[in-house]
Amino acid sequence: MIKIKDLEFTQNEIFDYLKITDKLKPALANLFQRKVAADNAKKMGMEVTDQELQGAFDSFRAAHGLNKAEDTEAWIKSKGVTLEALENHIETSIIIEHLKDKLEKEITMDALLSHDDTKNMVREMAFQIWLNGNM
């Protein structure tokens, strides 16, 4: 049960809404991608330090205007999640960033440009940079 102001919503109501509005499938796809990436990063030996987690949690709180512990507790309650769920979400985000850093260092320019989508994005970015310098 999630309560927003004076209204209560069941998990079934939420899931039914997401299914009907075609928002559940993209959310599940994103969740799946995060899980695959995080699990593989862990298998590669990547970890999140306590300092990283604390720093990211502090940044999250600041970005959401959660200046006091009571603010954070109220926010968590309003979302219908637990502190552990929020910490897991933040930890997953950090470990995915570690994986992205590793992949960025390993990929070659030839491999990147072998994909037409990437090649087109690079061309468009180069054009935009040129435009900005010539306007």
Mean pLDDT of 66-93: 93
Report pLDDT digits (tens) over 97-117: 999 999 999 988 888 888 889
**Domain harbouring 95, CATH code:** 1.10.4030
**Residue numbers of the domain that contains 98:** 2-133
* Per-residue pLDDT, 61: 95
* Per-residue pLDDT, 57: 96
* Per-residue pLDDT, 22: 94
Cα–Cα distance between 71 and 114 in angstroms, integer? 48
DSSP state of 2: E
β-partners of residue 8 are: 3
Cα–Cα distance between 72 and 63 in angstroms, integer? 12
Q: Which residues contact 24 (CB under 8 A, 6 or more apart)?
A: 15, 18
β-partners of residue 4 are: 7
User: Which three-class secondary structure state does DSSP give residue 8?
Assistant: strand
Indicate the number of domains in the chain: 1
pLDDT grade for 80, boundaries at 50, 70 and 90: confident
Give the DSSP H or E segment for 99: helix 83-106
Residue with tokens 């990283």: 52
- Can you give the C-alpha Rg of the chain in angstroms? 20
Report pLDDT digits (tens) over 20-78: 999 999 999 999 999 999 999 999 999 999 999 999 999 999 999 999 999 999 999 88
Q: Within 13 Å and on the Cβ side, how many CA atoms surround 125? A: 6
Read off the tokens for 118.
């990437």
Residue 4 has pLDDT above 80, yes or no: no
